[in-house]
Structure 1
Amino acid sequence: MNAAAPVQRNALPAAFLAGVEQLIPAERLFDDPLSTLAFGTDASFYRLIPKLVVRVESETEVIRLLKLAHAEKVPVTFRAAGTSLSGQAISDSVLIVLGDNWNGREIRNGGEQIRLQPGVIGANANAVLAPLGRKIGPDPASINAAKIGGIVANNSSGMCCGTAQNSYKTLAGLRLVLADGTLIDSEDPASVAAFRQSHGALLDQLAQLGRETRANTELAAKIRHKYRLKNTTGFSLNALVDYDEPLDILNHLMVGSEGTLGFISAVTYDTVPDHAHKASALIVFPDVESCCLAVPVLKQQPVSAVELLDRRSLRSVENMKGMPEWVKALSPTACALLIESRAATQSLLHEQINLIMASIAHFPVEKQVDFSEDPVVYNQLWRIRKDTFPAVGAVRQTGTTVIIEDVTFPVERLAEGVNRLLELLDKHHYDEAILFGHALEGNLHFVFTQGFDDPVQVARYEAFMQDVAQLVAVEFGGALKAEHGTGRNMAPFVELEWGEQAYQLMWKIKRLLDPTGILNPDVVLSEDPQIHLKNLKPMPAADEIVDKCIECGFCEPVCPSNGLTLTPRQRIVIWRDIQARKRAGVDTSELERLYHYHGVETCAATGLCAQRCPVGINTGDLVRKLRGKEADKTGAANWLADHFSTAVQGTRFMLHAANGAHLILGTKNLGKASAAFTKLSKGRVPQWTPAMPQPLQRLNLPKPAAGDERPRVVYLAACVSRAMGPAARDQEQEPLLDVTRKLLEKAGYQVVFPDDLNNLCCGQPFASKGYAEQAERKRQETLDALLRASRGGLDPIYCDTSPCTLRLVQDLADDRLQVYDPVKFIRTHLLDKLDFVPQETPIAVHVTCSTQHLGEAQALIDIARRCAKEVVIPEGIHCCGFAGDKGFSTPELNAHALRSLKDAVQVCSEGISTSRTCEIGLSRHGEIDYHGLVYLVDRASRTKSPIPA
């Protein structure tokens, strides 16, 4: 993203910049206005624009950067995923972000421990532990996006984690870099010995602080009380009373320090059991008091989670699709507990359920959904809980932001705390606010919307926060931050909560470990009592498609351009800024020029971001809309729509020409020439690769035979299947169309084709270029042809490419049509008609974006496992980035998205997918042949033998 001339580097010391430029390649240094704005946003409601963003790829780079920053007194902030909510992952100085090479993991002792680098996503750590029946203790709601570095640095917890399984309690070892660039690995005796030699004085001072704290009985008692609760306000002072070995104190002070005391380079966790059997129930009590009184009782029972939902939170989701009707009929004072229990065996689970229900049988109940192990019921109950936060975000007024605060009350005073919080929300007129939380720990979240573009609104927020701080910290002796971290949001209130003595102890720790104050200043501790009211993030209107975005960053892990240009969150941030500047009369031409490539051209627009987005935003819809505004070739689009068979024939001709050029120039020369032409033509000339298909030589479309009694299936061969055969180097030389026919006939079907097939198109090529009218026209033509071919919907329709299927079935009004992608058709119509003999050689599986949208991801994997004894699903590749024809016109997107594929599939000789164009990019970058799923199914299946009489 460093495409513009430097504008901010000169604000940093020359000696620091010179050292950075020698250490870090230019392509990993960002200081242009687009990049710094994009990185100036995390999930909080604050914004700071960094002067320089540095993407680091090694521990050595971090060490040398910190030495430079320490020497020149340059403030630095570390960022992992940027999903933090309290403003702890932003900077107006130097922002250090993790690159690709922080993803190491090492499983130890059969999964009882795991060593993780800070770039590992929490859910991915659990995925590698799952086969061993283990998981990491922390389970934040952001676990599918949050990275280990942030999870440890914030001491994140979650719904089941409580205080017993957070990072502090399950920490087994730490590797960290201090502010002066010193490395210490607590699991490496040589590193420990060297650190004792070089930093003995620091260790002695930590030991002394520990002895003084433990000797101060009043302070020690207060610390123990505070951490009996869920608490992330300030530093982890419990390290000083829980441990006497100074290295243990140091390690545990790092947990929850939010990057203000050092950089966490690796962490070793003691893992916890991940029980396979689970059940959930929803108990609705008539009022808050009876609901909260049940919580201490349940805390003594074998429960893994107890989530409280007040009537407001239930009301926020009652009209959502799929919600039970009874939610609307609950009384105004109702309050619910969502209870989950887990066990190693089903019989033990049933025993636990009986104990739980017996323990609360004497409480009045308004409505009850009994414990269920049925995934449908179970998931619906948890959806009620998980949809509450996005429900507020979805209805907020444009220009406001969503704030989610999290506090802890002593469990024995939970009912009083809930009611007092509700009174404060009413007092300050946060009428849309909802309240829910992790009841076992007295941890409550309250969600409300807030505008910061008006001083009156800022004053309202300030008055509310002062009242909350007095209520929680002073009156109830609770915690102002339970699991979201102090950040700059609660930094001014740390002394109020902890008192002067503990507060000054925290400053001693800060100054001991960061004497020059370079690490994340104004986070956790700040001398500015107004820091929580400064640098508030604007949320200007940009487009109704994205205005509900809360900038949480949950979308980022699945975006193929993440790390190449912009993520969905960053696309929205920049577009919001462009629109705000335009309204202010500021010239945005340069920013829009940069945005055209970084925001529009390199967006795959496949919509996976919508699946991860709490409010369902598909940033690809915005990009298609912007492409539509640039789409000025309407005449050409109309001509292609009217002469589509000619376009398909033209594709075959181009493939013929490419094959001819390959024969003349050879692989190496053609590859170089093609790459140059693609670049010069700005993507208009497709890039040739060795995985480029040959043209389909013949299109054999037989008519239905008279008197054929077999059941019929209408086969819609996609335009790519009609134009493209296998690549020249591919071991499989039979076209997809022929293999599909063979498989369908093997299962006993008569295959028929719609009339005028060569002119049919789902419309996707037009839609992706911004020609929505032509796209819909072609889609409707195809649906009409399929309705005729299927005899009014009597016959099922098989489409051989998942993206085309998705395009046809989205918003399909005609319920007579049964359109199947390869996965769903094989799953529902072929499995019972075939016998399978799984092959020995491992198979790589790529689940396309469209397969995920169709809800067939797991089915594809299950089918592959029927056909092969070993199935490899590369981690972290959610979208291949080929995106229809982006692999030809913007090949760097495809290359970036698949940069880790080759290493992941090196044990495989073949890969399978359900999109011919995706398979081109996968074959190129994986360096194995990728084929349609039907090739594997056909090879591994036989016609089912008749059952003997």
Structure 2
Amino acid sequence: MLQGAYREFHQRILEVLPARRVFSDPLSTLAYGTDASCYRLTPKIVIKTENEDEVRAILREAASLQLPVTFRAAGTSLSGQAVSDSILVVASHGWKGLQVLDNGAAIRLQPGVIGAEANAALLPYGRKIGPDPATINSAMIGGIVNNNSSGMCCGTAENSYQTLKSLRLLLADGTLLDTGDAASVAAFRVSHAGLLAQLAALRQRVLADAELAARIRRKYKMKNTTGYSLNALLDFADPVEMLTHLLVGSEGTLAFVSEVTYHSVVEHPHKASALVFYDSIKAACDAIAILAQHKDVVSSAELLDRASLKSVENKAGVPDFIKTLGPDAAAILMETRAASPDAIAANVAAISGFIQHIATETGIRFTSDVAEYTQYWNIRKGMFPSVGAMRAAETTVIIEDVAFPIEHLAEGTLKLQALFKQFGYHEAIIFGHALEGNLHFVFTPNFSGAEEIARYEAFIDAVCQLVAVEYEGALKAEHGTGRNMAPFVEMEWGPTAYRLMQEIKALFDPQGILNPDVIITRDKQLHVRDLKPIPAANPLIDKCIECGFCEVMCPSRAITLTPRQRIVANREMALLEKQGDSERLAEIQAAYQYAGDETCTTCGLCETACPVGINTGSLTSLIREAQLTDIGWATANTLADNFAAATSGARLGLKALDTLHAVAGDTATGAIMRGLRKVVGRKIPRWTPYFPRAAGKLQLAAGQAGSARKVVYLPSCLTRTFVPSAKAPDARPLNEVVASVLNKAGYQLLYPDNLANLCCGTPFKSKGASEAAQKKINEVEAALLAASDNGRWPVLIDNGVCTAALLDGVQDPRLRIVDVTTFVQEEAAQYLQFSPQDETVALHVVCSMRKKGQSATLNALARRCASTVIEPAGITCCGFAGDKGFSHPELNESALTGLKQQVAGCGGGFSTSATCEIGLSSHSGIPYQHLMVLVDRATQPRR
């Protein structure tokens, strides 16, 4: 229950924003109290914003009540800068504006755009944004610019500070400034002349202090995100430019950035990489010191210490040689990029020449083979998650981020390793962007007791003394100051520079309400307060490091909870149960039923982005199984035993609906069904004009009878139950379409016996009825063995979800299960003549096929059949999830946000799941059908 000023603020803000985007309940505030750092603060109020007017209203009301405000985008922040115990303003899903400018030379982005989405938009122009953080597939532009994120290749030359063209921002007083708009800038020079004059005065003070000016210049020759970007006071004479660049890396403490325009940089099409091993850190760092002088040809050089190499040495694809390295060994993973193969060859020769005099363990060998160098970089990317996956229960994964002057990199690295041993962090590893002297170190402290927290505190103090005092390096090179280094900003910069930063904060935020304690704090113990608990909850999720990489893949991410947030909630419930806090536990459990369970599609796409391979959908399935009552188990088993009767009943229901629709038409049918849903609830399916019609008697075409080429065809239960809606361009049952294509390719079609009773088990498994699901798998496995002559013939499935379920569930190695689309692309295509249709089509790869790595195969097949194929960006699982689109249509609608705009120029859409196609058609403005419809249209028998 909100109290005092927060209650007043809540009441006021509900007059401006819809209640569905303002949260104060225990589950929502808990879920948004976590970022990728080791801290947890639970906000009083969470607000999902969508435009500048809403943010301005929030700032106005918060200022009037003296309430702190923190801004958040993706929440992949590693230093605690995206959490709050006050008002948390989320600027993500409502902030997706993206516009490529000047033929790719620039790009305008809102804070909710994911970095990889920006790069995808620039790729056709041979360009990309400068910042390249390792989190680019998850991190959003709001965080990238506010943390001045860099990465493996951009260094200090292509980060946000250097590639910034303009910003659009809201100051704490609600003033809007667009530095790319001359009229806005002119008005601001008048309205905020005092602020600009004070910035100019700060510049003069710095220029007058030769020692301070030299210190600033020296520290920004290396990567540095500790404190504010004081280099803005030296690099620019115009106070507006100073202001603009001070906001880069300001972590939401000075203003809200609503839009950023970047100058893009070249994305070279040719690359070569080498993984070079040395017998010591000293030797590797000597090589790096030379490479750092030749950044014109060396794009990146990653230092890997022996512990980091050991963390991945047992992973698939990692050379066995690594296991034989000595205890002091190290490696450099380097890359060069260029516009042509000849230029790459010249770069490789030059780089090899620069460092050939330094002895290596295996020589210097570059490769331009994509598969090989991708394997090298996967080794590097796998180090952080490897430590996370191997850590002890209830420990936290911390990745710290420092920079040494390049000339001190070797000795600094050795002293860091000595600190690990001194403080007992024997699992710690070191890797990093060594060309910039930037090292990451990963370790796993346990914050469950005062003694462990004290050990952590002493270790961090020692690291800060080593980096900031002994070597005058940067305590934060690219992860942002946040809460964990805020107490040490003055130690790194000295009192004079720190006072400048305090003055800058006061100029922009005189009330001190914007993300207080981040960057500037008086609390010297801030870094050891509000440490996040990591209680054991379930072996499926205990390895989660709460990084948030999974969130971009989740269909419920914009409507309820993400996989990370589901894990946070389950950890909290486990902790509350252990503590005996039944009241709060009951509150969270009640809210979790809808937000965590009902709106989880169990698609498992989160696993594909998770660095430690967690499938949160599996957790949901376990929860559903645990909640299944005796009646639920009995019902599931009865349906499994009488599956043919169940599908027959479904067809009868569809026939009744077909009759109603034929008489009443679209509008009246929709109204009747909506009325029934209001009375009966979610058991009445949501109806749209793309609702399927009842299937008739299944016609099992034999294809080319007597052909030596034979396949077993298992039409899915959906194919057997319904046919496309009347709005579909091709109204044929899917099995007839499949038979037509295979007939043209000269295949004889065989069918399993007892077909009407066969099922892949997915409808049961998704509801937690694992016993019934396994029963159906066993039945279908036996039937397919018999039909395929004990595996002699391949088995084709016409629904991607069913294909994946059988690939996972069927155990007999003799059976070869293949999706029909994959089979056509990889085998049957040789017997077909393709005539690509002159049209633009949309392709949606269903989640199960994505997980099976079939995206490229389906795309290749579609491109054989149509002149242009579009795969809409940001659309992962469609959220229909078998029947969720009928019962929880809001999930399907949310998951497909932005689809309609992306496919506006398409003549039709194609996928591989009948239920997914219903939702895709309803929310895209174009009809979606099975990809085999397009294949049938574009093929003839090969003569």
TM-score (norm 1): 0.97
- Partner amino acid, structure 2, of 1:8: L
Contact 2:429 2:442 in 1 (8 A): yes
- Partner amino acid, structure 2, of 1:376: A
Contact 1:9 1:17 in 2 (8 A): no
- Give the C-alpha shift of residue 635 in structure 1: 1.6
Q: Which residue of 2 aligns with 1:24?
A: 17
Deviates most, 294-303 or 711-720: 294-303
Q: Which residue of 1 aligns with 2:249?
A: 256
Q: Which residue of 2 aligns with 1:3?
A: none
- 1:78-97 to structure 2, matched below 5 A, reads 78-97=71-90
- 1:427-466 to structure 2, matched below 5 A, reads 427-466=422-461
Count of residues in Structure 1 that have an aligned counterpart in Structure 2: 937
Instruction: Say which SS state the counterpart of residue 617 (structure 1) adopts.
Output: coil
User: Which of 745, 754, 757 is 1:756 aligned to?
Assistant: 754
The answer on 1:941 being equivalent to 2:934 is: no
- Give the C-alpha shift of residue 899 in structure 1: 2.9
User: Which of 587, 592, 615 is 1:590 aligned to?
Assistant: 587
Instruction: Say which SS state the counterpart of residue 869 (structure 1) adopts.
Output: strand
The answer on 1:343 being equivalent to 2:305 is: no
Deviates most, 61-70 or 889-898: 61-70
Contact 2:701 2:739 in 1 (8 A): no
The answer on 1:614 being equivalent to 2:611 is: yes
Q: Which residue of 1 aligns with 2:307?
A: 312
Distance across 2 between alignment mates of 1:11 and 1:648: 57
- 1:124-523 to structure 2, matched below 5 A, reads 124-301=117-294, 302-368=297-363, 370-523=365-518
- Give the C-alpha shift of residue 126 in structure 1: 0.2
User: Which of 846, 852, 867 is 1:848 aligned to?
Assistant: 846
Distance across 2 between alignment mates of 1:174 and 1:697: 60
Contact 1:282 1:368 in 2 (8 A): no
- Give the C-alpha shift of residue 802 in structure 1: 0.8
Contact 2:703 2:742 in 1 (8 A): no
- 1:28-43 to structure 2, matched below 5 A, reads 28-43=21-36
Distance across 2 between alignment mates of 1:798 and 1:329: 46
Instruction: Say which SS state the counterpart of residue 146 (structure 1) adopts.
Output: coil
Q: Which residue of 2 aligns with 1:747?
A: 745
- Give the C-alpha shift of residue 671 in structure 1: 1.9
- Give the C-alpha shift of residue 783 in structure 1: 2.0
Contact 1:693 1:726 in 2 (8 A): yes
Distance across 1 between alignment mates of 2:642 and 2:882: 20
Q: Which residue of 1 aligns with 2:785?
A: 787
Contact 1:9 1:51 in 2 (8 A): no
Contact 1:211 1:244 in 2 (8 A): no
Q: Which residue of 2 aligns with 1:604?
A: 601
Distance across 2 between alignment mates of 1:761 and 1:13: 53
Q: Which residue of 2 aligns with 1:824?
A: 822
- Give the C-alpha shift of residue 107 in structure 1: 1.4
- Give the C-alpha shift of residue 796 in structure 1: 1.7
Instruction: Say which SS state the counterpart of residue 302 (structure 2) adopts.
Output: strand
Q: Which residue of 2 aligns with 1:732?
A: 730
Instruction: Say which SS state the counterpart of residue 75 (structure 2) adopts.
Output: coil
User: Which of 521, 524, 527 is 1:532 aligned to?
Assistant: 527
Change (3 A) 1:109 1:881: same
- Partner amino acid, structure 2, of 1:564: I
Distance across 2 between alignment mates of 1:742 and 1:593: 51
Structure 1: where are the runs of 5+ without partners?
A: 1-6
- 1:870-889 to structure 2, matched below 5 A, reads 870-889=868-887
Contact 2:5 2:65 in 1 (8 A): no
Contact 1:11 1:51 in 2 (8 A): no
Q: Which residue of 1 aligns with 2:539?
A: 544
Contact 1:822 1:933 in 2 (8 A): no
Deviates most, 891-900 or 671-680: 671-680
User: Which of 6, 10, 17 is 1:12 aligned to?
Assistant: 6
Deviates most, 911-920 or 710-719: 710-719
Per-residue CA shift, 1:821-842, capped at 9, x if unaligned? 1332122113332232222221
- % identical aligned pairs: 52
Distance across 1 between alignment mates of 2:74 and 2:406: 32
Per-residue CA shift, 1:878-906, capped at 9, x if unaligned? 11000111111222211211232222222
The answer on 1:799 being equivalent to 2:794 is: no
Instruction: Say which SS state the counterpart of residue 372 (structure 2) adopts.
Output: helix
- Give the C-alpha shift of residue 925 in structure 1: 1.5
Per-residue CA shift, 1:585-624, capped at 9, x if unaligned? 1112232111111100110110011111111110000000
Instruction: Say which SS state the counterpart of residue 710 (structure 1) adopts.
Output: coil
The answer on 1:924 being equivalent to 2:922 is: yes
Distance across 2 between alignment mates of 1:173 and 1:68: 28
- Partner amino acid, structure 1, of 2:276: I
Distance across 2 between alignment mates of 1:306 and 1:784: 54
Contact 2:26 2:587 in 1 (8 A): no
- Give the C-alpha shift of residue 99 in structure 1: 4.8
Contact 2:704 2:743 in 1 (8 A): no
Q: Which residue of 2 aligns with 1:660?
A: 659
- Partner amino acid, structure 1, of 2:768: G
Contact 2:707 2:746 in 1 (8 A): no
The answer on 1:44 being equivalent to 2:37 is: yes
- Give the C-alpha shift of residue 18 in structure 1: 4.2
- Partner amino acid, structure 2, of 1:358: G
Distance across 2 between alignment mates of 1:600 and 1:13: 30
Distance across 1 between alignment mates of 2:271 and 2:36: 31
Distance across 2 between alignment mates of 1:448 and 1:99: 30
- Give the C-alpha shift of residue 11 in structure 1: 4.4
- Give the C-alpha shift of residue 867 in structure 1: 1.6
- Partner amino acid, structure 1, of 2:137: N
Q: Which residue of 1 aligns with 2:908?
A: 910
Distance across 1 between alignment mates of 2:647 and 2:349: 65
Distance across 2 between alignment mates of 1:183 and 1:245: 19
Change (3 A) 1:13 1:828: closer
Distance across 2 between alignment mates of 1:89 and 1:883: 32
Q: Which residue of 1 aligns with 2:866?
A: 868
Contact 2:715 2:735 in 1 (8 A): yes
Distance across 1 between alignment mates of 2:831 and 2:528: 66
- Give the C-alpha shift of residue 98 in structure 1: 1.5
Change (3 A) 1:36 1:754: same
Change (3 A) 1:431 1:676: farther
Instruction: Say which SS state the counterpart of residue 732 (structure 1) adopts.
Output: coil
- Give the C-alpha shift of residue 937 in structure 1: 1.1
Change (3 A) 1:705 1:83: closer
Contact 2:100 2:108 in 1 (8 A): yes
Distance across 1 between alignment mates of 2:335 and 2:764: 48
Contact 2:606 2:614 in 1 (8 A): yes
- Partner amino acid, structure 2, of 1:627: R
- Partner amino acid, structure 2, of 1:853: K
Change (3 A) 1:79 1:785: same
Q: Which residue of 2 aligns with 1:4?
A: none
Per-residue CA shift, 1:416-468, capped at 9, x if unaligned? 01110000001000011111101101110010001112000100000000000
User: Which of 42, 54, 61 is 2:47 aligned to?
Assistant: 54
- Give the C-alpha shift of residue 472 in structure 1: 0.3
Instruction: Say which SS state the counterpart of residue 839 (structure 2) adopts.
Output: coil
Contact 2:403 2:436 in 1 (8 A): yes
Contact 1:209 1:240 in 2 (8 A): yes
